[in-house]
Each structure stands twice: as C-alpha cells, then as structure tokens.
Chains A and B, each alone.
Chain A
C-alpha cells in the first residue's frame, strides 16, 4: 500500500508550508541578503547616505592586523572550549551512567547550568573570579598570586574559556548520557567475559559506538563557541584586556552596534558565514568518514 497524503485542494499544501517559508525568509534570508548588500556599501549611522564601495570593506577588514589577531584568538578559544566541554561532559556522563547511589540527583545537578542565560552565568563567574569582589579572586590575591584578568591576557582568556565551556558541559552531558544508554549492554558484557578491563572496554567499544553522538556534538560545539559565547565574553571581559578575548562574533557586534560601522561589520559577518560553512563542510567530508552509524 502506498502511503501518500492527498490534498483535495491544490493551494492547501502551500498554505501549510507558508508559515515555515515565511519564517525562513524573514529571519534568515532577508537579514543575510541585507548583510551582503551592506558589506559592499559605506553608510552613515542613520542610513541617510550610502555609497557603493565594492570590496573595500573586506579589504579593510582583512588587512587589519587586529582582525587577524582576533581570528587567532577565536581559533584558540573555540578549539579549547570544544575540547574542554566535550571531554569533561564525556567523563561525567560515563560516571553518571554507572550504577551509583542518587544518580538522578547528580544528573539533575549536571544539567542545571544549561538553564542559565549566558549573561547570568558570566555574572556568577565574575562573583567568583573578580579580583576585587570575587571570592576566589580575592583569595588568590591574598595568597600572593597576582590574579587580575583585567590586566592579564592569559588569565582573561583562561577565564572566558572556562566559563564558556562550563555553560556547554550540560548540553553535551545530556547527549552523551543518552548515547551511552543506547549502547547494548550485551556487547559490553561479552567484552567483560572475554577479559577486557574497563579502560579497554571504553576505548574499543563505548567510544566508537558513541561516535555519531560525538560527531554531532563536535559540530554543535564549534558553532556554539563561534556564535553563542558572545554573552559570556560581553559580561566578563568586553573582549579585553587589549583585544585578548575578542572573538570574531564579539567584533561583529562591537563594530556594528557600538561603532556604527555597518559596512565593516557586515563584511565580517559574511566572512564569518563563509568560515562556518567551510568548517561544517570539512567536518562532514572528512570527520564523518570515521563515524560508525550502527
């Protein structure tokens, strides 16, 4: 029997599709088209005067040594956040998957941070690490360690990486936990009977069988590190000291919203879009080959 939905009205299917098409057009295609248009124009803040400048905005952005610094910072930041949050979430998921007392309580607590808005999470971190009002920040200084992320590039970057990773661990944890629970117990038991230890079981059975989850999370986490960590950086360091914690997305905001440089900001958005499309394509092309879908 063929399963086909038959509409007696030819317009109805289009009508039902319309809301989603409208959302895509209004919230994705239109802004993207505007960004493309603005990236080749020079405009004053109020949009009263605009002139076509070709690729000048791109040229200005790409020849700015500070922009190239920001690219480097973004790579370090994104790679660290992705690795750190994936590794710690996997570790925690393996522990929580074991037969332990009060597992449900641990799981709830681990998922909790995901419910926090990035800005709120960042304020929490500030209350911990601020050298003047933070508990740990003050303690470090009292112990004689000069902790001041406002004037230390390395400390500032470490702090935003920690804060951004912490925020993402919960999300990764949920997926890893679900992935772990989907692994057939019989396979693990068979390995045990064959004499494989816990570590060996993990690397030869659990980890490969988790690879679809890991791959999915890798893509999601890189996108997170690129785009969604803005709130954390904005609330904690504002990209400083100097430009030590300025990522590409933060600079797009800074140039577009604060500095009213719509052309330059749009050019950066377009560059960012190209980077992320390329990254995702590479991941699907090369990393996915190593993924075992059962």
Chain B
C-alpha cells in the first residue's frame, strides 16, 4: 500500500515536472517535425543541414526523423495525415508529386506558405527543369525543391582503354554507345553497359531528351485525363535496340529500381546510365579511372538533345487540424534557410545531387568545385542546356510509382523474349492507362 502511494506520488511529480519543462521549452522554440527518406550516408548529411539551420537561430527547432525509403516515408505521411498527426514537413520523391498535388487540403503549397508568412520565395532563382517539376499549371511553386538529381552516364576509362576506345571521348549518341558496347564485349568485358531505374532512365529521360511526350496532356500537367504515349514507334525502336544489345551480350539488365547501381563501382559494368547521385559512391568505391558524360541521344530523332528531367525529392508542407500560425512561420524560416545559395551549393558539392538554384550552381563554379572534380558539372549542365518544353518539364502522372513498375515488368518480359518490344509497350500503355483512369476517378472532387 505504501509502495503504491509512493509510486503514485512520484508519477504525479514526474508528470508535473515534464509538463513544466515542456511548457518552458515551447515558449522558447517552435518545434517542426520533419520526416525524410534518405538512408545513410545521405540521411546523416541531410541532418547536418538541419543542424545548420537549428544552430543559425534560436526560435525554431527542426526535428528530422528517418522514415525508411521514399515509398515508406510517403506511406507514413499519408497514414499520419489520416490520423490527424501529419508532420510539418515531409520529403517526397518526385514521382509522388501528382499524388501530393491531388491531396488538396492535406498540403499547403509552398508559394502560399511563403506569401502568408511574408517570407517570400523567388521562384526564378530555381533551375527551370527543377522548378517546373514542382510547379502548378500556372507556374506557382507547390513544394520546395531540395535534393534533385538527373540521369547521366558514368564510364570506366580503364575498360575503354583496353577496348581501344578513346577514354576522353565518351560516346555521344546511341549508335556510338552500341558500337562502344560491342567493342568492349569483344575486348572481354563481361558487362559492357547497364542502366538503373529502368523506367526513369530509358523512357522518362529518353522522351525528354528527344522532346517526345511520355504521356498526353503535356505529360499530365494539363489534366488528370492523360494517357501514356510510350508505344510510339520512337520508343519501340529504342526498346528494340536495348533488347538486341542484351541478346548480343553487350548490355545487361541489372534489375529494378536502383539494383544496377552496384555494377559500376565494382568494375563489373563499363558503362552505366544512372542517377547523378551515384557519384558519391563511385568516388568512394571505384578502383579504376572513370568519367561522367551526358546521356546519349538518337541523331535521327533530334539534332541536338533537350534538357533532361530531374529525379530526387522535394519538401512538402502538410496540414493538420492542430497547426498554429507560429508553426507555419517556423516552417517558412526553415525553407528560407534551405533556399540560400550557399546551403544549396554545399549540399550539391557534398553529395552529388545537382544544385537546385542558379546561384548555387554559380557559387560551386566560383569555388572551383568543377575544376577539382571534372565531370561533376555534367548533370547541372544537362539540366540547364535548353529552355524547357512541355515534354521536358517533368511528369505529372497519378500513381507514377505503379506505372514505373508496370513498365519494368513489361520490359522484363520482353528481355526474356516472351513478347516483342511493340507488345511490351502496348501492354504497358494499356495497363498504365488503367492506373491513370483509376487515379482520375478517385481524385475527381
């Protein structure tokens, strides 16, 4: 009896004390919950950026939490929103953009947040290919771009040398790539080339580079009624080329998503088309001379290729019934910090993601980063080399992760010879359109 009373007293005392500290704490700082989906080492680097913000002022405390991969983070944020506990800020991969935009009252568009809190955000400061991906139809920024990447080619200079290819002249067109891959194979390289993120690198990027639509309605920017366009003869020919090269043993399908990434730094594959974010890993792991080059193009389809599109993620502001104006102000302060060119440039130079602001790019140039790291400028240059068209702004398709998977599945069947390139892409369009129609139905007011 005595012990029970003692316990009750101490519990009450503890609760009281916790309540006081909590209150005192809240008076000092506004807490912002921030969920992200970057595993180590990138997650740690991101948390360093957050720490930089926390240390730069004494009014706001941002708490970063790792929530698993991008799809897992998305799932967690959605579940939290449904339970009325959404985090203030969530990092969302680029293919989740349409889903977030359709979330309506669940999110607060960044342009609205910034103007309501009087913080201001200069949309023109951002690289157009980055800005476009996260803007509404009328050009308003809906999310804050942060870690963006794009696809580039990495190639093994030692292997090129061995095959009698010029290590300082990477292939610029697809016919040249095919030629180089065959020569590499003849020289005994077991895996001349591969690619990761199959749908992103072989369809989304290839479409943008050649100014060909991936989907109708300006790649979905024009409305929810978009349909896929990838069974066009251009894409069929492209897939057929990949299948032919694979049959000859000049190309290896490395698996879904980023499964192929490890094939390049290990020295297994001599060329890879992958995210520019792979750079950090190659620097650390590769025991051979390597180079970076822009993506190849089809000269019979376009005289000079357009800008590529981005990958990576952006930061979204989520709403909750409990949100206060002070909390939104705190989020705006955090975002203003992230938009600073020096923060952007440092993140870019530390990680291999592209700079998202034009000034950040300039700053990295000025600091001599590209002289010290040849090839590191390739992604940003490829992203900015032309003005964006409606085919190079990015994709705005509902449930794009599902569509990416469908295309991977159909490609895998074609690579096994179970169906032709035309059948594969016809099937992908048919199945993908079903997904788009379901999304349209579920998101019609």
Contact = CB atoms under 8 A, between A and B. Distances in A.
Contact of A49 (B402, B431, B445): B445
B81 interface: yes
B402 A259 contact: yes
Contacts of A68: none
A240 B416 contact: no
A48 B104 contact: yes
A258 B402 contact: yes
A259 B399 contact: yes
Interface in B367-415: 399, 401-402, 405, 408-410, 412-413, 415
B433 to A, nearest CB: 14
B47 interface: no
Contact of B103 (A45, A66, A241, A242): A45
Interface of A: 42-49, 66, 132-133, 150-153, 238, 240-243, 254, 257-261, 264
Given A42-B442, A45-B78, A259-B401, A153 B416 contact: yes
Contact of B253 (A151, A257, A259): A151
B99 A241 contact: no
B342 interface: no
B102 interface: yes
Interface of B: 71, 75, 78, 81-82, 99, 102-106, 253-256, 259, 262-263, 266, 268, 399, 401-402, 405, 408-410, 412-413, 415-416, 418, 431, 435, 438, 441-445
A43 B413 contact: no
Nearest to A242: B413
Contacts of A260: 78, 99, 399
A133 B255 contact: no
Nearest to A43: B442
Contact of B71 (A150, A242, A258, A261): A258
A48 B262 CA distance: 40
A48 B412 contact: no
12 contacts: A43-B442, A45-B78, A46-B78, A46-B106, A49-B444, A132-B266, A133-B266, A151-B415, A240-B409, A241-B412, A259-B402, A261-B438
A274 to B, nearest CB: 23
Nearest to A153: B416
Contacts of B71: 257-258
Nearest to B444: A49
A241 B443 contact: no
B319 to A, nearest CB: 10
A240 B435 CA distance: 19
A132 B106 contact: no
Nearest to B403: A259
Nearest to B86: A46
A243 B409 contact: yes
Contacts of B262: 132-133
A46 B405 contact: no
Given A152-B416, A241-B415, A258-B401, 14 more contacts: A42-B442, A43-B442, A44-B103, A45-B102, A45-B103, A49-B442, A150-B412, A240-B256, A240-B409, A242-B413, A257-B75, A260-B78, A260-B99, A264-B438
Nearest to B71: A258
Query: Across chains A and B, which 8 residue pairs bring their CB atoms closest together, nearest first?
Result: A241-B412, A259-B402, A242-B413, A44-B442, A150-B255, A46-B106, A46-B103, A242-B412
A150 B405 CA distance: 14
B401 A48 contact: no
A133 B444 CA distance: 47
B404 to A, nearest CB: 10
Contacts of A264: 438
A261 B403 CA distance: 13
User: Which residue of B99, B408, B412 has the most chain A CB atoms within 10 A of its CB atom?
Assistant: B412
A48 B103 contact: yes
B256 A238 contact: yes
Nearest to A156: B412
Given A48-B104, A258-B401, A241 B413 contact: yes
Nearest to B438: A261
